[in-house]
Amino acid sequence: MSQRRPGVGDTSSPRGESTNAVHGGERERRESDALTTPIYQTSTYTFASSEEVCAYQEGRVARDEYGRYGNPTWRAVERKLAALEGSEDAVLFASGMCAATTTFLALLPQGAHLVVTSDCYRRTRQFIRQYLGKLGVETTVIEPADPQKLAAALRPETRLFFTESPTNPYLRVIDVAEAARVCHARGVHVIIDSTFASPINQRALEHGADLVIHSATKYLGGHNDLMAGAAVGPRPLVTALREAVGVLGGILDPHAAYLLLRGLKTLALRMERHNQNGLAVARWLEAHPKVRRVWYPGLASHPDHEVAARTLRGFGGVVTFELASDFDGTCRFVDALRIPYIGPSLGGVESLVEMPATMSYWDLSRDERYALGITDSLVRLSLGVEDEADLLADLERALAAA
């Protein structure tokens, strides 16, 4: 009988990122010895006898019962994500938004207090404001990357500190270890939305975070062809979320789970190119006379560059910048680009570009947008894996039209 090679099938040995991305969570023997994990397209799992049902209910056998509670294709993805984040467990959701909302509903009791940062996904803030308030949850919003403001915001009833890192759209980077030190001293859990980093650029759990969530729609899937979310962390917290998603029902379709599993296998390879393109484009834009300012944590000019350089292993493919132009000029620039598609989202192999003023914040007045830092000339560019020279040439042509 053949033996497993050390470092591939043997999980006791440390493994590299690409090895984990390819093999993590998938080395157990499968039916028919298929190399790839199948799509388990079923809503129900049958039992051979009443004794088997009782054994399952008593926890003597591990298996699935009903499609809202588990699926073998999900399980393979969850094991792979746990391996990539260096954690005990992971749970999938129908979207990144579902991951965030389910986490809040599962971990915040009535009357609890939540601390969040100001620069984060608008729909997350909307859920907190419109729905958590109805449950008696109070929220304090603080500026990112300020441990003193975080400490001042904590109350006896505070249960969670939630933030993206890097944030959207200004890519603020949190010192996770310091945030964890401040929060844990007061019995508060730290939850990091690591969508803009991926497990390749940041493993927040190693820095003290209690839970990491992802919009797997982005870098994890990597091909702009699925919607999914995930939460990764210690088994007790993940189990609470798994039980909540079984009740709330925000489950992932098996086909989407299969696409996510396939996308994850190239995550480390893709992130290397995203990181390269992001840094090259950010440096080039910062030197261009038609660009007023660039926000990218890999640049020394970014307010959190020191923290980012110390805690991140790469700075990602998203570059936010402001043109030295007005609304119409910025529209001309975006329309003149030929490689990026105009659209929301990020993290896929294709580059995407958007003006937040016309995409995510269209329904707000100009004054409301500007209060949030969303100016008429702000652009968010999510770089894919195209060739650097082609991206720079395209930007040069488009800037001439601004």
Q: How many CB atoms lie within 10 A of CB 177?
A: 17
Q: Which two tokens stand for residue 168?
A: 């959207």
Phi, psi of 159 (to 5 degrees): -115, -35
Angle (nearest 5°) at CA 279 between 300 and 206:
80
Q: How many CB atoms lie within 10 A of CB 341?
A: 16
Sheet bearing 378-382, strands edge to edge: 291-295, 318-323, 378-382, 352-354, 341-342
Q: Which two tokens stand for residue 87?
A: 């954690």
Instruction: Give dist(CA 154, CA 180) in Å, integer.
Output: 12
User: Cis link prior to 166 (omega < 30° from 0)?
Assistant: yes
Q: How far apart are the first and last CA of the chain?
A: 66
Q: Is 222 in contact with 263 (CB distance < 8 Å)?
A: yes
Q: Which residue has the tokens 């030197």?
A: 287
Q: Is 158 in contact with 108 (CB distance < 8 Å)?
A: no
Q: What is the DSSP letter of 185?
A: T
The residues annotated as belonging to the active site are: 68, 121, 193, 218
Instruction: Give dist(CA 124, CA 15) in Å, integer.
Output: 34
Angle (nearest 5°) at CA 150 between 195 and 315:
30
Task: Using DSSP, state whether 363 is helix, strand or coil.
Answer: coil
Q: Which residues contact 383 (CB under 8 A, 6 or more apart)?
A: 274, 277, 278, 281, 317, 318, 319, 351, 391
Q: Which of 166, 117, 119 is nearest to 274 (CA)?
A: 166
Residue 319's identity, in one-letter code, is: V
E strands in 211-315: 211-215, 229-233, 291-295
